[in-house]
Amino acid sequence: MSELLQRLPSPFLSREGAARSKLSKCSMTPGKKLEGLVAAAITPMTPDGQINLSVIHQYVDYLVREQNVKNIFVNGTTGEGLSLSIQERKQLAEEWVRQGKDKLDHVIIHVGALSLPESQDLARHAAAIGASGIAVIAPFFFKPTNKDELVAFLQKVASEAPGVPFYYYHIPPLTGVKIRVEELLDGIREQIPTFQGVKFSDTDLLDLAQCINKNGSEQFAFLYGVDEQLLGALAVGVNGAVGSTYNYLGRKTKLMLQAFAKPDLALAQKYQFLIGEFLNFVIKLGFGVAQTKAVMTFVSGIPMGPPRPPLVNASEEFIAKAKAKLDSIVWPDGD
């Protein structure tokens, strides 16, 4: 139970607070380092655009059994987190923690928001329900202009969940915040004691490599977020990856990780090239969150539903072409 809930006399616990107290016992594998593949969770929605919690249990089972993926990143970019209400984000976080109990190793909840109080509220909630970790994106309307401003914002969020591992979500192509992570990490544990690592969603492998080279002794987790370039990031020493393709290509990507670890670079390259061949194909058709939902739906059989406006549904033409392309790929393992 969170420190906040412990301080409240029991008569004053709201119904929501009691539910959170119960959920807080549903934590994932304690003390296990976050590494390997982390699926960036899609947010299932009903045809009328409401979040669809009823399929999360099926989603968890699919990831574990079919994709061999046991870590999840909730309410991030792929999950349309910043298009959801605070209440929706809390409901999704609670359901992933509940359904992931004894099945998933890590449920990381993205709690970033443009509003600091909202982000702090989400951080407290994630702690109360027993999330494995929290992550925060840089504010991107009124932006921090230097390291000190960014760290100060992150610290104010992390301090609301003092017992929960904290990760910075670095995605400058979307935020426009281009403060180098190498610079950000200098002395960060002194200001954020719970800091555990970075979700690095950028193509700047020089910055990434310097982060790993300079901070290896800290044992931070460096999780790469550009799926089509994962093999290059492995070569400079990342611990794992967070991405949307691990929802439906997780097993293939794990085979690439295994080949790299052997090491069998030629086999690892085959997997990376084939994953890239599919992504290159769909990117040319127009590939984003809506299209990811469509691909996940036809691969898994779980209805992911429409995206939230202003995004629009993937076209039937896209679905047909993407399915045909994926079916045409001959993988090294024979599938």
Residues marked active site are found at 169, 199
Antiparallel, parallel or unpaired: β 240-243 and 36-40: parallel
User: Positive or negative CA dihedral for 115, 121, 127, 131?
Assistant: negative
Question: Token digits for 263?
Answer: 């090491």
Antiparallel, parallel or unpaired: β 36-40 and 71-74: parallel
Question: Token digits for 31?
Answer: 């003390």
The one-letter amino acid at 326? L
Check whether 242 is labelled as a binding-site residue.
yes
Whose CA is closest to 285, among 310, 321, 326, 313?
321
Interatomic CA distance for residues 119 and 153, integer angstroms:
10
Give phi and psi for 98, each to the nearest 5.
Answer: -65, -50
Residue 275 · residue 255 · CB < 8 Å: no
Give phi and psi for 283, each to the nearest 5.
Answer: -60, -40
112: left (phi over 0), alpha (psi -120 to 50) or beta: beta
Whose CA is closest to 56, among 231, 314, 253, 303?
303
Q: How many other CB atoms are there within 10 angstroms of residue 50's CB atom?
A: 12
**Known binding-site positions:** 78, 242
**Known binding-site positions for pyruvate:** 78, 242
